[in-house]
Structure 1
């Protein structure tokens, strides 16, 4: 197939590009910077400069490429991670998940693209009711009125638009792997990444290579609907955070009460570590035939930080 990867130089995008090419597909991959065209050429893709927030730019790129499948991997998280001000940190990504999604879907429809696959998110943002592990049938938590509210609203917009168009939504867990969690490891080594409150809130993780492999399967099988792309072991912060510190050669994280963490790090950090809900990957494994290289973050953290 001819596959158009919007955001081909991103954390997941470039891995998707490489795997698609290795499996014999033709790949058209986009970047916002002409300086990155050579990177895509070295991978073997047809490189295109495209502004995902410009409808004309998107329309021209897709019309010229005439792909069979379009993959939406556009994000923009520049600078250091800033959970306290998540609304600011995710501002451009939120636009790419709303305006950018509209532009890609319109271009796909105009060009007669038969299938659409888009990146979404599922790590700690399951609805904070009932059990700690959620399936695709459970609603997400939208966190209105918090610093995460805008990001969750953008996810809801993207998912509704893509599902209405008959596409597939891949909810990636918290990403780790080469370059994916450098900020967190640095904070742990400086003892500036504490365990908040009870630490009972759950997170689901996924290695970047496993996320890419699931994406390729969704492209090739032209599946529709929502899939949680996470590993086998959703876990509370009180388990994964000390393990991550040990894997990184750092001292055990300090523990701080929720009220203090809210003052220092904001409401989202408290929500994640006290109320977060993880996710089940049963549907992705069953319907995609997805096999994980790292079934648990325990294996992956050790491998990546050895």
Structure 2
């Protein structure tokens, strides 16, 4: 199939594009500037240039690629400062709203038959009920103010993609990425913070995280593109775990001392209200649907093994 990947030079794109070309697909990469042409060519894709926030440019790029499938992997997430969570996600929020709308408009004009989009299943589910959520469970209906814009942008993306009746809209709610090119790659700032005991367990550490290795997420994306059905899929590993469990275990893997424990009010001062939510209230996600319907099995079934690779 002819596939256009928007966001081909990010951590996911670098894993996804070679897998798509290796599976025999003809891949086009939508890039923002000519300086990225060499990167995308090395990955095996044909570059087309467009700023995702420029609707006319996006329409021209999609028209040039004439794809059967569009894969929306546009993000702009760098270092996440939990004290200023809304600022950390502001650029990505815009891509999830304006960028999504622009890509969908261009895809409709080009007659694209399938539209696959990156969503977030790591930080977005409602914070009540059981510890592990399925695709049928609602995203947080009452997020705290610093997290509200991010969750609103995710909801906009999902509603727009799933509401596009003219194409097969597929939404992939990825867990927290780790592996090459991610914020939890070997040597990353986040892992160094854990090694230096600057990443404490806040409160009871009861927030449940679902991880996924970036390579496994890319494999799931190929499976969804090739034979997924309209709808939502959680793309996470088999082992959702509370912070009080995974953080000390990861510290041990890094040959670091156990993380400090601090009460919620101290965590709020140091990491802001969003940091406290991530540590104490988060809900994990189930991958049962993706395994059942996509025939996908994460090679790194648990972060316990994946982080050691």
- TM-score normalised by length of structure 1: 0.96
Structure 1 counterpart of 2:208, from 179, 198, 202 = 202
Gap change, CA 1:177 and 1:37, over 3 Å in 2: same
Q: Offset of 1:245 from its aligned partner?
A: 1.2
Q: Equivalent residue for 1:25?
A: 25
Distance in 2 between the 1:57 and 1:124 partners?
32
Gap change, CA 1:101 and 1:13, over 3 Å in 2: same
Distance in 2 between the 1:43 and 1:134 partners?
35
Gap change, CA 1:44 and 1:290, over 3 Å in 2: same
Q: Equivalent residue for 2:13?
A: 13
Q: Secondary structure at the match of 2:171?
A: strand
Distance in 1 between the 2:193 and 2:181 partners?
14
Q: Offset of 1:142 from its aligned partner?
A: 4.5
User: Which blocks of at least 5 consecutive residues in structure 2 are unaligned?
Assistant: none
Alignment of 1:1-306 (within 5 A): 1-78=1-78, 80-165=79-164, 166-180=168-182, 181=184, 182-303=188-309
Q: Secondary structure at the match of 1:118?
A: strand
Q: Offset of 1:272 from its aligned partner?
A: 1.3
Distance in 1 between the 2:205 and 2:143 partners?
22
Q: 2:228–2:293: 8 Å Cα contact kept in structure 1?
A: no
Question: Aligned Cα RMSD in Å?
Answer: 1.1
User: Which blocks of at least 5 consecutive residues in structure 1 are unaligned?
Assistant: none
Q: 2:120–2:173: 8 Å Cα contact kept in structure 1?
A: yes
Q: 1:142–1:152: 8 Å Cα contact kept in structure 2?
A: no
Structure 1 segments (4+ residues) deviating >3 Å: 142-145
Q: Secondary structure at the match of 2:11?
A: coil
Gap change, CA 1:190 and 1:92, over 3 Å in 2: same
- TM-score normalised by length of structure 2: 0.95
Q: Offset of 1:143 from its aligned partner?
A: 4.7
Distance in 1 between the 2:62 and 2:289 partners?
31
Q: Offset of 1:129 from its aligned partner?
A: 1.5
Q: 1:142–1:153: 8 Å Cα contact kept in structure 2?
A: no
Q: How many residues align?
A: 302
Q: Offset of 1:141 from its aligned partner?
A: 1.2
Q: Secondary structure at the match of 1:210?
A: helix
1:173-203 per-residue CA deviation (whole Å, 9 max, x = no partner) reads 0000013112210211222110000011100
